[in-house]
Amino acid sequence: MEKDGHYTGGCLCGAVRFEISGPVRSIVYCHCSQCRKAQGSAFATNGIVDVSDFKLLAGEDALTAYESTPGQTKHFCKICGSPIFSKTATKPEQLRIRLGAIESDIEERPVAHIFVTSKANWEEIAGDLPQYEAYEPGR
């Protein structure tokens, strides 16, 4: 976390810039097939932030969205394709930020692996974090 208490971040090309003025909660490694495709990797690392703590500094016109499942929308830069966050209609007060888009050091740590039965067959999950077949408890 930076000295002023904010996390800052953005997309690969720099068009989208944001800051987060609160904690990043419930950081998880998501192994679902949608996250794997959206990230182009074995998993996505996501954390929950309050919408009231998230401020878009630049690039509102560069953001585009895709409703990946009914009620869940992924937001990404339409120029470089960087995933930024996702929103769920049933939880309008929060969003799931893609941790790779945050440039500041992150104090909070991951708490679980989710959707592990959907993980890539070539991936091996290591470490002691809990593993869940769906969303983490309390989500």
Q: Report all structural domains of the chain as residue ranges with CATH numbers, in order of start.
A: 7-118 (2.170.150.70)
Q: Which residue type, as a one-letter code, is found at position 19?
A: E
Q: Where are the beta strands (DSSP E) in the chain?
A: 7-10, 17-20, 25-30, 44-50, 54-58, 63-69, 72-77, 83-88, 94-98, 112-114
Quick: pLDDT tens for 82-121. 999 999 999 999 999 999 999 999 989 999 999 999 999 9
Supply the pTM of this predicted model.
0.90
